[in-house]
Amino acid sequence: MSVAACGKTSAKPVPGSRSGASRLCRSPHQEESMKIRIDKPACVGNARCAAVSAELFPLDDDGYIAVSEIAVPPGMEQLARRGARACPERIIVIEEDVAKS
Protein backbone atom coordinates (compact mmCIF):
# COMPACT_ATOMS: atom_id res chain seq x y z
CA MET A 1 0.00 0.00 0.00
CA SER A 2 1.34 3.41 -0.83
CA VAL A 3 1.99 6.14 1.70
CA ALA A 4 -0.49 8.40 -0.09
CA ALA A 5 -3.36 5.98 0.37
CA CYS A 6 -3.37 6.08 4.18
CA GLY A 7 -0.55 8.29 5.27
CA LYS A 8 1.38 5.26 6.51
CA THR A 9 2.93 2.22 4.92
CA SER A 10 1.63 -0.42 7.33
CA ALA A 11 -2.04 0.08 6.48
CA LYS A 12 -4.35 -2.87 6.92
CA PRO A 13 -7.01 -3.69 4.33
CA VAL A 14 -10.60 -2.86 5.12
CA PRO A 15 -12.47 -6.02 6.20
CA GLY A 16 -14.99 -7.17 3.64
CA SER A 17 -13.46 -5.34 0.69
CA ARG A 18 -13.39 -7.36 -2.51
CA SER A 19 -10.97 -5.64 -4.82
CA GLY A 20 -7.47 -4.36 -4.32
CA ALA A 21 -8.58 -0.88 -5.36
CA SER A 22 -11.08 -0.64 -2.52
CA ARG A 23 -8.71 -1.94 0.11
CA LEU A 24 -7.64 1.48 1.34
CA CYS A 25 -7.57 1.93 5.07
CA ARG A 26 -10.08 4.23 6.71
CA SER A 27 -9.57 6.70 9.46
CA PRO A 28 -11.47 5.99 12.72
CA HIS A 29 -14.13 8.61 11.96
CA GLN A 30 -14.89 6.89 8.64
CA GLU A 31 -15.37 3.39 10.02
CA GLU A 32 -18.61 1.65 9.30
CA SER A 33 -20.26 -0.24 12.08
CA MET A 34 -23.02 -2.78 12.30
CA LYS A 35 -25.59 -3.69 14.91
CA ILE A 36 -27.90 -6.65 15.24
CA ARG A 37 -31.36 -6.11 16.68
CA ILE A 38 -33.40 -9.12 17.71
CA ASP A 39 -37.10 -9.39 18.56
CA LYS A 40 -36.21 -11.54 21.55
CA PRO A 41 -39.79 -12.39 22.65
CA ALA A 42 -40.47 -13.79 19.18
CA CYS A 43 -37.57 -16.27 19.36
CA VAL A 44 -38.83 -19.87 19.22
CA GLY A 45 -35.45 -21.46 19.91
CA ASN A 46 -34.44 -22.87 16.54
CA ALA A 47 -30.86 -21.77 17.37
CA ARG A 48 -29.87 -21.59 13.72
CA CYS A 49 -28.30 -18.18 14.32
CA ALA A 50 -26.10 -19.62 17.09
CA ALA A 51 -25.12 -22.49 14.80
CA VAL A 52 -23.63 -19.84 12.49
CA SER A 53 -21.90 -17.92 15.30
CA ALA A 54 -22.36 -18.69 18.98
CA GLU A 55 -20.24 -15.62 19.77
CA LEU A 56 -22.60 -13.22 17.99
CA PHE A 57 -25.82 -15.03 18.88
CA PRO A 58 -25.51 -16.33 22.44
CA LEU A 59 -28.29 -18.55 23.75
CA ASP A 60 -29.73 -18.73 27.25
CA ASP A 61 -29.98 -21.98 29.24
CA ASP A 62 -33.29 -22.80 27.54
CA GLY A 63 -31.88 -22.45 24.00
CA TYR A 64 -33.42 -19.06 23.17
CA ILE A 65 -31.49 -15.98 22.09
CA ALA A 66 -30.04 -14.31 25.20
CA VAL A 67 -29.68 -10.74 23.90
CA SER A 68 -31.79 -8.24 22.00
CA GLU A 69 -29.01 -6.03 20.60
CA ILE A 70 -25.44 -6.76 19.57
CA ALA A 71 -22.66 -4.48 18.33
CA VAL A 72 -20.90 -6.53 15.66
CA PRO A 73 -17.11 -6.56 16.07
CA PRO A 74 -15.09 -5.59 12.98
CA GLY A 75 -14.51 -8.56 10.71
CA MET A 76 -17.64 -10.44 11.82
CA GLU A 77 -20.12 -8.69 9.52
CA GLN A 78 -20.52 -11.67 7.18
CA LEU A 79 -21.28 -13.99 10.11
CA ALA A 80 -23.89 -11.51 11.35
CA ARG A 81 -25.59 -11.47 7.95
CA ARG A 82 -25.48 -15.27 7.69
CA GLY A 83 -26.92 -15.64 11.19
CA ALA A 84 -29.79 -13.28 10.35
CA ARG A 85 -30.54 -15.17 7.13
CA ALA A 86 -30.50 -18.47 9.03
CA CYS A 87 -33.38 -17.44 11.31
CA PRO A 88 -36.61 -19.02 9.99
CA GLU A 89 -38.68 -16.62 12.08
CA ARG A 90 -36.96 -13.56 10.52
CA ILE A 91 -36.65 -11.80 13.88
CA ILE A 92 -33.02 -10.70 13.40
CA VAL A 93 -32.47 -7.29 11.80
CA ILE A 94 -29.07 -6.06 10.62
CA GLU A 95 -28.43 -2.33 10.90
CA GLU A 96 -25.41 -1.28 8.85
CA ASP A 97 -23.49 1.99 8.90
CA VAL A 98 -24.60 2.80 12.43
CA ALA A 99 -22.85 5.92 13.71
CA LYS A 100 -20.51 5.19 16.60
CA SER A 101 -21.09 7.15 19.77
Backbone torsions φ then ψ of 7, nearest 5 degrees:
90, 5
pTM strictly above 0.85: no
Q: What is the mean pLDDT of residues 26-40?
A: 73
User: How do residues 50-63 score in pLDDT, each as one tens digit?
Assistant: 999 999 999 999 99
**Judging by beta carbons within 10 Å of its beta carbon (0-12, 13-18, 19+), is residue 21 exposed, middle or buried?**
exposed
* Residue whose C-alpha is closest to residue 50's, from 16, 82, 74, 90: 82
The answer to whether residue 18 scores a pLDDT higher than 70 is: no
Q: Calculate the average pLDDT of the chain.
A: 77
Give the SS3 label for residue 16: coil
The rounded distance, in Å, linking the Cα atoms of 10 and 18 is 19
Residue-level pLDDT at 14: 41
CATH entry, 33-101, from 3.40.50.10490, 3.30.450.40, 3.40.50.2000, 3.30.70.20? 3.30.70.20
Backbone torsions φ then ψ of 19, nearest 5 degrees:
-115, 155
Query: For the chain, what are the domain ranges?
Result: 1-31, 33-101
Q: What is the mean pLDDT of residues 29-36?
A: 73
